[in-house]
Structure 1
Amino acid sequence: MSLGNINYKLDSLSLASTKKKIIVAVDYGTTFTGAAYVNSSSDVNIINIWPGTGRDTDHVWKTPSCIAYPDENKSLGKRKWGFQVEPGHKCYSWTKLLLDKNAPLTKYDDPMLEKATKSGIMQLPPGKDAVGVVADFLTSVYEHIMHILEKGLAEEILGMSAIEFWFTMPAIWSDKAQAATREAAKRAGFGPRPERPLDTIYMITEPEAAAIAALTRSTTDIVSVPVKSGDGVLVCDCGGGTVDITTYLISETKPRLSFEELCTGTGGKCGSTALDRNFYKLMSERFGTAFDALPAKRIGPGSAFMRRFEALKRNFGLDTEDTTYELPLNIRSSQVAPEYYDEEEGSVIVSDQDLRDVFDPVVDQIIRLIKTQMQDANKEMETGTINRIILVGGFGDSEYLRQAVKKTFGSEKKLTITIPNNPQSAIVHGAALRGLHGIQSTARRCRRHYGFSWGIYFREGIDDEKNSYWDEYYDAKMVRGITKWMINKGQKYHQDYSKLVSISHTHWPSNSLKKSTELYSCDLVDAPERIENPSVKYIGTIDVDFTKVDLTGFDSKIISGRRVYMLSYSLKVIFGAQEGILKFKAISKGKVVGKSEISFASGSYY
Structure 2
Amino acid sequence: MKSTDTRKPYSGTTRSLVIAIDVGTTFSGVSYAILEPGEVPKIHGVTRFPGQEHVAGNSKIQSIMYYDRAGKLVAAGAEADNGSVLALAEDEGWIKAELFKLRLRPITMKLKMNGLRLSALPKNKTAVDVFGDFLGYLYRCTRTFFIDTHANGKALWQAVEHNIQFVLSHPNGWEGAQQTKMRRAAAYGGLIPDTDEGRSRIRFVTEGEASLHACVLNGLAADVLSNAKNASSHGFLIADAGGGTLDISSYAIRATHPLVIEEIAPPDCIFAGSVFVSRRAREFLAEKLRASKYGTEDSVDHIIKRFDEKTKRLFRDKNDLQWIPFGSPFDKDPTVGIRQGQLKLTGAEVAEFFEPSIQAAVAAIKAQIDSATVPIRSVWLVGGFAASPWLFTQLQERLAVYQVSVSRPDTQTSKAVADGAIGFYCDHHVNARMSKFMYGVEYLREYNGDDPDHVTRKHRLCELPSGPKLLPDAFDCILARSVKVKESTVFTRKYCTELTSLKLLSVFEVEIWCYRGGNTVPLWINRTAEDFGTLCVVRADLSPLEGSAEPKSGRNGKTYWTIVFSVEIHFGLTEFKARIKWVDNVSSSSSLRGYDIDLEYYLGENKIVSLPVGIITVV
Residue in structure 2 matched with residue 5 of structure 1 by the alignment = none
1:244 is paired with a residue whose SS is: strand
Partner amino acid for 2:254?
S
Q: Name the CA shift for 1:16/1:547 in 2 (closer, same or farther; >3 Å).
A: closer
Q: Following the alignment from structure 2 to structure 1, what is the Cα–Cα distance between the partners of residues 178 and 597?
A: 22
Q: Is the 8 A contact 1:322 1:352 kept in 2?
A: yes
Matching of residues 27-426 of structure 1 within 5 Å: 27-39=22-34, 40=36, 42-53=41-52, 57-71=55-69, 78-86=73-81, 87=86, 89=89, 90-105=95-110, 111-112=112-113, 115-117=115-117, 121-151=118-148, 152=150, 153-161=152-160, 162-191=163-192, 200-218=201-219, 226=226, 228=228, 229-230=231-232, 231-253=234-256, 255-288=257-290, 305-317=304-316, 321-328=320-327, 338-341=335-338, 345=341, 348-377=343-372, 380-381=373-374, 385-410=375-400, 415=405, 417-426=407-416
Shift of residue 497 of structure 1?
3.5
Q: Name the CA shift for 1:488/1:392 in 2 (closer, same or farther; >3 Å).
A: same
TM-score (norm 1): 0.82
Residue in structure 2 matched with residue 554 of structure 1 by the alignment = 549
Shift of residue 571 of structure 1?
2.9
Residue in structure 2 matched with residue 488 of structure 1 by the alignment = 480
2:370 is paired with a residue whose SS is: helix
Q: Name the CA shift for 1:93/1:592 in 2 (closer, same or farther; >3 Å).
A: same
TM-score (norm 2): 0.80
Q: Which moved more, 1:581-590 or 1:208-217?
A: 581-590
Aligned-residue CA RMSD in angstroms?
A: 3.7
Q: Name the CA shift for 1:545/1:434 in 2 (closer, same or farther; >3 Å).
A: closer
Q: Name the CA shift for 1:418/1:58 in 2 (closer, same or farther; >3 Å).
A: closer
Residue in structure 2 matched with residue 8 of structure 1 by the alignment = none
Q: Following the alignment from structure 2 to structure 1, what is the Cα–Cα distance between the partners of residues 269 and 553?
A: 54
Shift of residue 283 of structure 1?
2.2
2:522 is paired with a residue whose SS is: coil
1:442 is paired with a residue whose SS is: strand
Shift of residue 68 of structure 1?
1.2
Q: Name the CA shift for 1:528/1:141 in 2 (closer, same or farther; >3 Å).
A: same
2:214 is paired with a residue whose SS is: helix
Q: Name the CA shift for 1:555/1:135 in 2 (closer, same or farther; >3 Å).
A: farther
Q: Name the CA shift for 1:225/1:32 in 2 (closer, same or farther; >3 Å).
A: same
Q: Where does the alignment leave 5 or more consecutive residues of structure 1 unmatched?
A: 1-13
1:479 is paired with a residue whose SS is: strand
For the pair 1:514 / 2:507, whether they are aligned, the reply is yes
Residue in structure 2 matched with residue 25 of structure 1 by the alignment = 20
Q: Following the alignment from structure 1 to structure 2, what is the Cα–Cα distance between the partners of residues 317 and 56?
A: 29
Partner amino acid for 2:170?
M
Partner amino acid for 2:287?
E
Q: Is the 8 A contact 1:546 1:594 kept in 2?
A: no
Q: Which moved more, 1:21-30 or 1:79-88?
A: 79-88
Shift of residue 446 of structure 1?
0.6
Q: Where does the alignment leave 5 or more consecutive residues of structure 2 unmatched?
A: 1-8, 90-94, 585-591, 608-619
Q: Following the alignment from structure 2 to structure 1, what is the Cα–Cα distance between the partners of residues 494 and 309?
A: 53
Partner amino acid for 1:481?
D
Residue in structure 1 matched with residue 3 of structure 2 by the alignment = none
Q: Is the 8 A contact 2:440 2:479 kept in 1?
A: yes
Q: Which moved more, 1:195-204 or 1:465-474?
A: 195-204
Q: Following the alignment from structure 1 to structure 2, what is the Cα–Cα distance between the partners of residues 527 and 199?
A: 34
Shift of residue 80 of structure 1?
1.4
Residue in structure 1 matched with residue 589 of structure 2 by the alignment = none
Residue in structure 2 matched with residue 564 of structure 1 by the alignment = 560
Q: Following the alignment from structure 1 to structure 2, what is the Cα–Cα distance between the partners of residues 566 and 289?
A: 75
Q: Following the alignment from structure 1 to structure 2, what is the Cα–Cα distance between the partners of residues 550 and 196?
A: 30
Residue in structure 2 matched with residue 473 of structure 1 by the alignment = 465
Shift of residue 30 of structure 1?
1.1
Q: Following the alignment from structure 1 to structure 2, what is the Cα–Cα distance between the partners of residues 376 and 190?
A: 39
Q: Following the alignment from structure 1 to structure 2, what is the Cα–Cα distance between the partners of residues 219 and 139?
A: 33
Note the alpha carbon deviations across 1:313-350, whole angstroms, 9 max, x for none.
Answer: 22221797433223359xx99xx8723445x85x6543
Q: Name the CA shift for 1:565/1:366 in 2 (closer, same or farther; >3 Å).
A: same
Size of the aligned set, in residue pairs, is 560
Note the alpha carbon deviations across 1:66-85, whole angstroms, 9 max, x for none.
Answer: 22112269xxx852111121
Shift of residue 386 of structure 1?
2.1
Q: Following the alignment from structure 1 to structure 2, what is the Cα–Cα distance between the partners of residues 487 and 197?
A: 31
Note the alpha carbon deviations across 1:117-153, whole angstroms, 9 max, x for none.
Answer: 2xxx343223322111101111111121222223325
Q: Is the 8 A contact 1:456 1:479 kept in 2?
A: yes
Q: Following the alignment from structure 1 to structure 2, what is the Cα–Cα distance between the partners of residues 154 and 134?
A: 28
Matching of residues 579-598 of structure 1 within 5 Å: 580-585=575-580, 587-589=582-584, 590-592=592-594, 598=602
Shift of residue 545 of structure 1?
4.7
Q: Is the 8 A contact 2:475 2:525 kept in 1?
A: yes
Q: Which moved more, 1:182-191 or 1:395-404?
A: 182-191
Q: Following the alignment from structure 1 to structure 2, what is the Cα–Cα distance between the partners of residues 477 and 276?
A: 58
Q: Is the 8 A contact 1:577 1:583 kept in 2?
A: no
Shift of residue 310 of structure 1?
3.4
Q: Name the CA shift for 1:150/1:374 in 2 (closer, same or farther; >3 Å).
A: same
Residue in structure 2 matched with residue 528 of structure 1 by the alignment = 522
Q: Is the 8 A contact 1:392 1:420 kept in 2?
A: no
Q: Which moved more, 1:557-566 or 1:397-406?
A: 557-566
